[in-house]
Structure 1
Amino acid sequence: MMNKKEAREALASADALASQMRRGARQHNRLVFLLGLVMMVMTAVYGLMIQPSARYAVPVVLLIPFFILVIYTATRPVLPRHYRALYAVITATGAGIYSLTVTLGTTYFSGEPLWWIPGAVLCAAPFFLVGMLDRKAVHAAEGSP
């Protein structure tokens, strides 16, 4: 049977581990938001400034932040109930938005800011939504409102 000293040490160890995990979760939130900003800037730059000769190679590079988001949401070890399904819907919707923005923009709206700026914001929206959901889950785990 465990004595009081061992119990206190076990609780202190568990508290330290929980604190470390919360710090890691907060860092991931920041990285997801930063990835959204990168996606927004890359999409806007592609649509507004890239020369027509490089049109078809660059959208593949633009998918790198999106692939990182998909991997991030798929490999989270612990999630609140129904978040995995919600992340799947968010990333699938983001893929559709990205596909429409880049395909239609490249074909019909090359260099047109009225298409590419809102399109870039919409392409970044899944990142921001995942970041907000993660932040909400971290606050709920900490007991904060």
Structure 2
Amino acid sequence: MSEQIDADQARQALAVAEASGGAAARSGRWYALYSVVYAAMSVALTLAVGLAPSVWTIGGGTVLWLIAVGALSTYALRRPVAPRRYALLHTSSIVAWGVIYMVVMFGGTTGFRGDPAWWVPGALLTAVPPLVAAAVAVRRPAGVAAAR
């Protein structure tokens, strides 16, 4: 036997559901912050390696990159909700970033060593995929963590 609820109870239930949905959507926006930080790290690493290539820059930059990505990954894993279709969004962003990063690195190290005309635009280009992902995450409602 199902219970019937009156109009006031229905309005209260609807208000609670709307408030919960808004809170979930806002808490799913953490991925935008993640993506902006990732974009900034990418620009910094690309510029450092491209404009001041040395064993210390490449080695130290790689170590700092791994630490920062580890911290970002830990941050991501601790979030209770994620943007809708998070796995596709994140995978697409990282794959696009990887392709652009490899083209910039390969082109720069083979033909434009230390040339700011290559490295500055190239570094900024590596930031595009994560910044697009950030924009999508802000506009997209959140899903539940299990839906990642």
Indicate the TM-score class for this superposition, using the shorter chain for normalisation. 0.5 to 0.7
* CA shift for structure 1 position 55: 5.3
Mapped partners of 1:55, 1:37: distance in 2: 17
CA distance in 1, matches of 2:124, 2:9: 53
Question: 1:131 — aligned with what?
Answer: 134
Matching residue within 95, 98, 105 for 2:108? 105
Whose strand fraction is larger, Structure 1's or Structure 2's? 2
Q: 1:43 aligns with which of 41, 46, 54?
A: 46
More helix by share: 1
Letter in 1 for 2:101: Y
The answer to which structure, 1 or 2, has the higher relative contact order (CA under 8 A, 6+ apart) is: 2
Number of residue pairs matched by the alignment? 132
Structure 1 residues 64 and 111, CA, compared in 2 at 3 Å: closer, same or farther? farther
Q: Kindly tell me: are residues 110 and 99 of structure 1, through their superposed partners in 2, closer, same or farther at Cα, counting changes over 3 Å?
A: same
Under a length normalisation based on structure 1, what TM-score does the superposition of the two structures give? 0.66
What amino acid is the match of 1:79?
R
| Pair 85,35 (structure 1): closer, same or farther in 2 beyond 3 Å | closer
Q: TM-score normalised to the size of structure 2?
A: 0.65
Provide the identity percentage: 25
Residues 99-140 of structure 1: CA deviation (Å, up to 9, x unaligned): 2222342344332111111111111111011122223324xx
- Consecutive unaligned residues in structure 2, runs of 5 or more: 142-148
SS for the counterpart of 2:140 is helix
What root-mean-square deviation, in Å, do the aligned CA atoms of Structure 1 and Structure 2 show?
A: 3.3
Question: Which 5+ residue runs of structure 1 have no aligned equivalent?
Answer: 139-145
Instruction: Please say if residues 83 and 140 of structure 2, whose CA atoms lie closer than 8 Å, have aligned partners that are also in contact.
Output: no
Shift of 1:40: 1.4
